[in-house]
Structure 1
Amino acid sequence: MIKDLTIVVDGVGRRAAPYGITLAAMLEATVSAVSVLPLVPFQTFAQSEIRYDLVVAAEQDAREQAAAAVEAVAKAAREAGIPCETSAICTSAPLAPLRLAGFVHLSDLAVIEQADEAAPKPADAYLDTLLFQGARPVLMVPYNQLAPPRFSCAVVAWDGSAPAARALGDALPLLRRMARVELVSVTDEPVPEATRRRAIRHLARHGIEATVEVIPGGVPVGEALLSHVSDRGADLLVMGAYGHSRLREAILGGTSRTILASMTVPVLMSR
């Protein structure tokens, strides 16, 4: 069950909070709003010969911005009747990601807005931290997402790997609410009928009616998945996060650039 939902905000992004709050209402979950704004080390200012009072003022501005970001979420949550806790992480840049990872360890799901290369924002820097150190599933909301959460169709990227299995398991609370669930493999190899039946039986035991779909290879996996999501009118894409390198080289054998840049629906990722 998803009962403790963390929303990562920065005062710039505008999509994660409303989507996460509405989702929390549907799931009868509590929201934790966390803002991460790393402080510039004093040594950096010292080397630039910037006055100490300006350093103090810059740090105070960062703390106030972080506090305002989470308070905005708390206000929206209260208006929606959702319990909300707030936390502002303001510490040195090397420690900030570790603090965030530790925070989401005690959460069921982390929600963050998709990075926009055309308009970077502070929270963009923490997606790989959430995936590879947070140890919890991450739901990315498109930066142009206007629609509230819907549960008509979910596409699950499935290749039989451990990350794909983890993502499937983490997504079960959401998949149970879907009218239609598709396990999708992008491959030129035939999927054994026994494997199809077992996958369908496994999800049926969780009250989920699912089908297994195979997309022929020959096109990049990311493009194939996004095209299928569009064709099906899906509301959610579920996929595993792979590897130990940085995110853009690590998901589904290198399809992350396509998925992260071109996603049109929320994407739940797990590792």
Structure 2
Amino acid sequence: MRTLGFVPLLTHPDASSEKFVMNAMAVAKHLDADVYAQCIYVDIPDVSNAFSGVLLNVPEMIREAENKSRKAGEKLLEAVAKAATEADVSVTTEETNAPPYGIGEVAASQARYGDLSMMEWDTAGSSARVVAEEVLFSSGRPVVLLPTSMTVGVIDHIMIAWDGSRVAARALADATPFLLRAKRISVATVLDEKPIDKNIGERLALALQRRGLAAEVLTLNIGGRAIGEALQAHALEFGAQLLVMGGFGHSRIRDFVLGGATADVFNHVRLPILLSH
């Protein structure tokens, strides 16, 4: 069975970038995966009334926003077709509409039909963050965050952030397609962030080695830094191209309360990160 990657193409209020499209296709090529790309156009409900048409010209503002969304989507679909051809990746595309408040929900619902979702991450783009959080915590599928600040290339060294928890185990399982292709796997345990069994890293590395995977153990100290920031810094220091970790959090009426490591990651993504909840 082939792996199916889901790529949501956002068009409102900020459009996904062509850089994200290229990065997503690079990941798909690495996994020998097919891609399902969904272009989500904004469909703004008519809130006009007798005064808004005169004072604010609301109907015209709505039309302009929807036209902008449509043009951005058409451009993204062209970029997907071009990038897929260059990467020799099989892509299926779909176009759909969603109200501004429902874009994340639409993306999360569609993500359930794939094996993993690839999401753009731009620190300055709050709309991308909202959708990424929704997909991570509502889809039941892993998410690979792809920062626009870098170009995805070879992914043959993977760092696993391991604390022996349920969500870490879930992330480990969801990362299997990447692990099977890795030349090097680093199992990273943080010793000075919370009480932890110092041997859990060795146990996971041994379990991976028994499966024929090249796994090693790294014990880390964060030294007072935010754990998400420290994990990424260590991953980059050791040359990892992908960080795998569990995502903590829950929703309260569409607001996300994140665990420390997950919140730190969302604040600043410095390399591709596979998150699983």
Query: Could you tell me how far apart the structure 2 residues matched to 1:209 and 1:68 are?
Result: 42
CA contact (8 A) 2:161 2:189 kept: yes
Partner residue in 2 for 1:162? 166
1:32 equivalent to 2:39? Answer: no
Partner residue in 2 for 1:97? 104
| TM-score normalised by length of structure 2 | 0.83
Partner residue in 1 for 2:246? 240
Residue 269 to residue 121, structure 1, CA distance change in 2 (3 Å): same
Equivalent of 1:172, from 170, 176, 179? 176
Residue 212 to residue 88, structure 1, CA distance change in 2 (3 Å): same
Q: What are the superposed Cα offsets for residues 26-80 of structure 1, whole Å, 9 maximum, x if unpaired?
A: 3221111223343322116876323646644543442343233233212321233
CA contact (8 A) 1:32 1:84 kept: yes
1:263 alignment partner AA: V
Superposition map of 1:1-16 within 5 A = 3-10=3-10, 11-16=15-20
> Displacement, 1:5?
1.0
Equivalent of 1:221, from 219, 227, 244? 227
> What percent identity do the matched residue pairs reach?
30
Query: Could you tell me how far apart the structure 2 residues matched to 1:227 and 1:248 are?
Result: 25
CA contact (8 A) 1:236 1:266 kept: yes
> Displacement, 1:15?
2.9
| TM-score normalised by length of structure 1 | 0.85
1:186 alignment partner AA: V
2:233 alignment partner AA: S
CA contact (8 A) 1:70 1:88 kept: no
1:70 equivalent to 2:77? Answer: yes
Partner residue in 1 for 2:236? 230
1:145 equivalent to 2:150? Answer: yes
Instruction: Tell which deviates more after alignment, 172-181 or 206-215.
Output: 206-215
Equivalent of 1:267, from 258, 266, 273? 273
Query: Could you tell me how far apart the structure 1 residues matched to 2:51 and 2:262 are?
Result: 38
Give SS of 1:41's match.
Answer: coil
Partner residue in 2 for 1:254? 260
Partner residue in 1 for 2:212? 207
Residue 149 to residue 15, structure 1, CA distance change in 2 (3 Å): farther
1:171 alignment partner AA: A
Query: Could you tell me how far apart the structure 2 residues matched to 1:149 and 1:39 are?
Result: 38
Superposition map of 1:81-92 within 5 A = 81-92=88-99
Instruction: Tell which deviates more after alignment, 22-31 or 241-250.
Output: 241-250
1:150 alignment partner AA: I
> Displacement, 1:14?
3.3
1:126 equivalent to 2:131? Answer: yes
Unaligned runs of 5+ in 2: none
Give SS of 2:250's match.
Answer: coil
Query: Could you tell me how far apart the structure 2 residues matched to 1:112 and 1:46 are?
Result: 41
For the aligned residue pairs, the C-alpha RMSD in angstroms reads: 2.7
Give SS of 1:20's match.
Answer: helix
Partner residue in 2 for 1:112? 119
1:187 equivalent to 2:191? Answer: yes
CA contact (8 A) 1:12 1:121 kept: no
CA contact (8 A) 1:247 1:256 kept: no
Give SS of 2:145's match.
Answer: strand
Aligned length: 265
2:184 alignment partner AA: R
1:48 alignment partner AA: S
Which structure features the higher share of strand residues?
Answer: 2
